Amino acid sequence: MTDGEVRTRWDEAFCSAVVSGLSRPQKSIPCCWLYDERGSELFEAITRLHDYYPTRAEAEILWRHARDIADFCGEGAVLLEYGAGAGVKAEILIEALRAPRVYAPIDIEAGVLGRTARRIGGRFPGLDVQPILADFTRDFDAPELPQGPRAAFFPGSTIGNLNRREAIAFLSRMRRHVQNGKAVIGVDLKKDRRILLDAYDDGEGVTAAFNLNLLARINRELDGGFPLSRFAHEARWNEADSAVEMHLVSLDSREVAVAGRLFPFKAGDSIHTESSRKYELAMFEAMTDEAGWRLARAWRDRGDRFAVFGLEALV
Ligand code: AVI
């Protein structure tokens, strides 16, 4: 097999993320690779778990404060949703908005985007639905959209999966897209460590399966040789980053082949697969400030576990 043939056998972006990540002293793989078809199914299952409170807490806020959040967005709003997925949370907000003009779901998956656009269009017949196919973690320009007060919607505490630099870049891009508009962002709050760790290492083992699925994906797609039963899921609290981290810990010393290379592991070595940052209001405010936003509103769930923040562009 020639070099050219070797390269086309594997998805280049996935291969290079894994190979470079496994070559570092602290092995790490960006969390976006957790979401193949099975990974997305497992994540959906996580959102229904008792231990994983963020989805429920955010839904409670959206239901309870829908009218107030909708008023914050303004009448005749043009709503852009980042990483829209099925648009389930946007539906709660759209329902409460006064005469919304446009819903623009942004997603990297064309199939998901099309289904969401059709579903929301069918559900709200007067609404102009303008899907945008884009990776919201990278820079892109918003297309021409009808006039109206713009509001960015980013639920799910996905902002927690970005590091500070990425989050500021993302918030700045969002500000550019909405011009002098607003943003509504779901953020998981810092809290008791036990509650946080249980949310990322649930009693039913679904999060463990979600994390370990990454190794199964590497085995399948990159000719990997990870013995799945010899790696364990672990959730760790990192105080310096104010984040719950997911790791895959090697139970023994071994070498693992991936994409034609060998990667050494000592017993206890781990692959860091995700950070989920947990914010305090002041921390989040400092970050939004740097990105040109003023934190104007904070809606919290009754358990004070999660917040939906309303931001106004600084002019
Ligand atoms: C998608 N994201 C906001 C989830 C989180 O909580 O960081 C992903 C997740 N990882 C483990 N459980 C859920």
Q: Whose CA is nearest to atom 4 of ligand 1?
A: 158
Q: 127 C-alpha to center of ligand 1: Å? A: 31
Beta strands in 163-209, from DSSP E residues, in sequence order: 182-188
> Per-residue pLDDT for 241 more than 80?
yes
Please state which of the ranges 24-33, 134-143, 204-213 shows the lowest mean pLDDT. Answer: 134-143
Q: Whose CA is nearest to atom 5 of ligand 1?
A: 276
Q: 22 C-alpha to center of ligand 1: Å? A: 22
Q: Whose CA is nearest to atom 2 of ligand 1?
A: 158
Sign of CA dihedral 128, 298, 300, 159: positive
For the stretch 172-188, pLDDT in tens is: 999 999 998 999 999 99
Find, among 95, 102, 181, 94, the residue nearest to 143 by Cα. Answer: 102
Q: What is the pLDDT of residue 1?
A: 45
> By percentage, how much of the chain surpasses pLDDT 90?
95
Task: Give the distance from CA 113 to its chain's centroid.
Answer: 16
Beta strands in the chain, from DSSP E residues, in sequence order: 27-28, 78-82, 102-107, 128-129, 132-133, 150-154, 182-188, 231-238, 243-250, 254-258, 261-265, 270-277, 293-300, 306-313
Q: 315 C-alpha to center of ligand 1: Å? A: 33
Task: Give the distance from CA 198 to its chain's centroid.
Answer: 19
Q: Whose CA is nearest to atom 3 of ligand 1?
A: 158
> Per-residue pLDDT for 197 more than 50?
yes
Which of 29, 32, 154, 158 most suits a substitution to test ligand 1, by most atoms within 8 Å of the C-beta? 158
Average pLDDT, stretch 18-26?
A: 98
Whole-angstrom Cα distance, residue 66 to residue 222? 45
Which of 58, 137, 206, 274 most suits a substitution to test ligand 1, by most atoms within 8 Å of the C-beta? 274
What is the value of pTM for the model shown?
A: 0.94
Angle between helices 281-290 and 164-177 (to 10 degrees): 60
- Residue 20: exposure state from Cβ atoms within 10 A (0-12, 13-18, ≥19): exposed
Find, among 266, 262, 182, the residue nearest to 225 by Cα. Answer: 262
Q: 107 C-alpha to center of ligand 1: Å? A: 17
Q: 183 C-alpha to center of ligand 1: Å? A: 21
Find, among 119, 69, 79, 76, the residue nearest to 98 by Cα. Answer: 76
> DSSP string covering 137-148, please?
TS--PPPP--SS
